[in-house]
């Protein structure tokens, strides 16, 4: 079933290939920098390049090729790509920065053995910190966008 969907719909295929390529590159960069493997980088958010940007940009370029720049399909794909990339740099990036601050506060409280107000479950039950790698810098989004466009163009050349 999944194989039929991936091979039947060209736009889904290039989107999935772009996402997988971005996650693989992200994992390789992590291994190179940290000299260890972390399987969370294969599916996690954040990092270089943005897999979300790669996916939506490859689909937008593929849609432009299949249906034309003036089609309503491309308008939708382009709008979705802009929203996803804006969100990655704005809201999700800010959420990651807030997670860093909360994790820092939590570590300080634990280190200095401060007692939390009674009934405060947010810190007491938090075994691990919040995920700090949620959003992207503009460079990470641009790299994802470039990767998605490259994969879409290569697939257009290869398939047509």
- 58 contacts 150 by C-beta, under 8 angstroms: no
If you average pLDDT over every residue of the chain, what do you get? 81
Closest Cα partner for 90 from 140, 135, 133, 45?
135
pLDDT in tens, 146-157: 999 999 999 989
Give 9's pLDDT tier (boundaries 50, 70, 90).
confident
- 143 contacts 48 by C-beta, under 8 angstroms: yes
Q: Indicate the DSSP class of residue 43.
A: T
Specify the pLDDT at position 129: 64
Give 107's pLDDT tier (boundaries 50, 70, 90).
confident
Give 73's pLDDT tier (boundaries 50, 70, 90).
very high
- Distance of CA 62 to CAs 84, 92, 105, 155, Å? 17, 26, 45, 9
């Amino acid at each position: 079933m999944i194989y039929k969907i991936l091979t039947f719909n060209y736009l889904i295929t290039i989107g999935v290939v772009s996402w997988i390529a971005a996650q693989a590159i992200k994992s390789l960069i992590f291994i190179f920098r940290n000299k260890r493997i972390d399987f969370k980088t294969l599916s996690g958010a954040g990092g270089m390049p943005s897999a979300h940007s790669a996916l939506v940009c490859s689909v937008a370029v593929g849609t432009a090729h299949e249906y034309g720049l003036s089609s309503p399909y491309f308008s939708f794909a382009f709008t979705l790509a802009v929203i996803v990339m804006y969100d990655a740099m704005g809201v999700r990036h800010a959420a990651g920065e807030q997670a860093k601050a909360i994790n820092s506060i939590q570590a300080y409280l634990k280190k200095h053995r401060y007692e939390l107000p009674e009934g405060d479950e947010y810190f007491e039950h938090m075994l691990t910190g919040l995920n700090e790698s949620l959003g992207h810098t503009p460079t990470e989004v641009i790299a994802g966008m470039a990767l998605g466009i490259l994969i879409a163009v290569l697939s257009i050349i290869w398939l047509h």
